[in-house]
Copies of this chain bind each other. A is one copy, B any other.
Amino acid sequence: MNRKAIGIDLGGTAIKAGLISESDGLLEEVSVPTNADEGPQYVLDRIADLISGYSTRFPDVVGVGLGSPGAINWARTTVSSPPNFPGWESIHVGDALASRLDRPLLTLVENDANVAALGSAHYGVGHRFDSFIMVTLGTGVGGAIIYQNKIFRGATGAAGEIGHMTIDYEGPFARSGVAGAIEAYLGQRFLSRHARYRLINKKDSLMHQMAEDDLQGITPKMLFEAAELGDSGAREVLAWAGHKLGCVLGSAVNLLDIRKVVVGGGLSAAGHYILDEARATLNHYVTPALQAGLELVQETRGNEVGMLGAGHLVFQHVDENGISPE
């Protein structure tokens, strides 16, 4: 049996919808702008359009999985307060879509970091591991835990907030108000600021040209490009970030005894400039008894893992619970 599901990745800038084959992964995908400022009804209309586009052509789809920012309830039915989605309080996504679709489809929602990890577990580099920690480096620092091939959800469904773990209890504050949270180092805004101050007196760094002498305009992308071109300043910044990443992952490994780490998200494109240092550091922050088998690898399927994991959520749910959501 080769089931199909629709996997949707609801992001701040785009809504991506993929047709996911259980055995073959992503068969096709389509993307539209989110325009979250238009409000939740607009966004839900767009999601329904994308679903209809597939479900009319593929009437045998098993259901819809949606990866979303915001808080997800335990039953995987509602999305609450996704950041940067004005007017979106708490919405039962299945109900909201049912009224927009010709026929009802099993609909499950899950946190975006969690579906990305599930996608990696079944279709990405995480396929090699039964259990792993996923960290997603993008605008913020996301995280998820895959345990025995499933999402470890914690007590309420919000587990995996690696971005808020502290590596220095007297360190800089992250947006969450947690001192020394890893996001205060690796979040895009924080990393860019660090680069600016670190390079301000390093006039020979390519970054000055790239940012057109306005270091406030530094982006992580510029850092990778400069690093690729051999710029030592950019490489120092990325290695600094990798060091911090290794510290927080050490804590996570000690707590979970899950010794495999998958790094995804836009910043992971910086590949070995960050990850080599993270790998070296990780060993110093894991107790010796847990060091055997430590691995830190890069997700190479990019953002596709979000749609893939959202689709897989449907297959997993049906296998465990039958066709209805709880």
Instruction: Confirm or deny: A178 has a beta carbon within 8 angstroms of a beta carbon on chain B.
Output: yes
Chain A 110-128 residues near chain B, CB threshold 8 A: none
- Segment of A7-15, A280-288, A301-309 in the binding face: A280-288
Given the interface pairs A170-B168, A255-B256, the reply to whether A288 lies near B155 with Cβ below 8 Å is: no
A252 vs B159: C-alpha distance in the bound complex, in angstroms?
Answer: 10
A166 vs B246: C-alpha distance in the bound complex, in angstroms?
Answer: 11
B252 touches A164 (CB 8 A): no
Q: How many copies of this chain does the complex contain?
A: 2
B179 touches A285 (CB 8 A): yes
With an 8 Å Cβ cutoff, the count of chain A residues facing the other chain is 47
B285 touches A178 (CB 8 A): yes
Smallest Cβ-Cβ distance to A162: which chain B residue: B255
A50 vs B154: C-alpha distance in the bound complex, in angstroms?
Answer: 39
Given the interface pairs A71-B289, A289-B71, the reply to whether A169 lies near B255 with Cβ below 8 Å is: no
Instruction: Confirm or deny: A276 has a beta carbon within 8 angstroms of a beta carbon on chain B.
Output: no
Given the interface pairs A169-B244, A244-B169, A257-B154, the reply to whether A286 lies near B164 with Cβ below 8 Å is: yes
Question: In angstroms, how far is the closest chain B Cβ from the Cβ of A118?
Answer: 16
A286 vs B259: C-alpha distance in the bound complex, in angstroms?
Answer: 24
Given the interface pairs A166-B251, A169-B247, A289-B158, the reply to whether A179 lies near B284 with Cβ below 8 Å is: yes
Question: In angstroms, how far is the closest chain B Cβ from the Cβ of A28?
Answer: 35
Chain B residues within 8 Å of A44, by CB: none
A159 vs B253: C-alpha distance in the bound complex, in angstroms?
Answer: 8
Instruction: Confirm or deny: A177 has a beta carbon within 8 angstroms of a beta carbon on chain B.
Output: yes
Chain B residues within 8 Å of A176, by CB: 287-288
A252 vs B166: C-alpha distance in the bound complex, in angstroms?
Answer: 10
Chain A 125-156 residues near chain B, CB threshold 8 A: 130-131, 143, 145, 153-156
Which residue, A158, A164, A169, A260, has most C-beta atoms of chain B within 10 A? Answer: A169
Chain A 247-298 residues near chain B, CB threshold 8 A: 247, 250-252, 254-260, 284-290
B254 touches A161 (CB 8 A): yes
B153 touches A257 (CB 8 A): yes
A159 vs B133: C-alpha distance in the bound complex, in angstroms?
Answer: 13
Chain B residues within 8 Å of A40, by CB: none
B250 touches A252 (CB 8 A): no
Q: What are the nearest 3 A-B pairs in CB distance?
A: A154-B257, A159-B257, A164-B287
11 additional contacts (CB under 8 A) given A157-B257, A158-B289, A176-B287:
A130-B155, A155-B257, A155-B260, A159-B256, A162-B254, A167-B167, A169-B247, A177-B288, A178-B286, A179-B285, A255-B255
Q: List 29 A-B contacts (CB under 8 A).
A: A71-B289, A130-B155, A143-B255, A154-B256, A154-B257, A154-B258, A155-B256, A155-B257, A155-B258, A159-B256, A161-B289, A162-B255, A164-B286, A164-B290, A165-B250, A165-B251, A165-B254, A166-B247, A167-B167, A167-B169, A168-B168, A168-B180, A169-B285, A177-B287, A178-B286, A178-B287, A181-B287, A251-B251, A255-B256
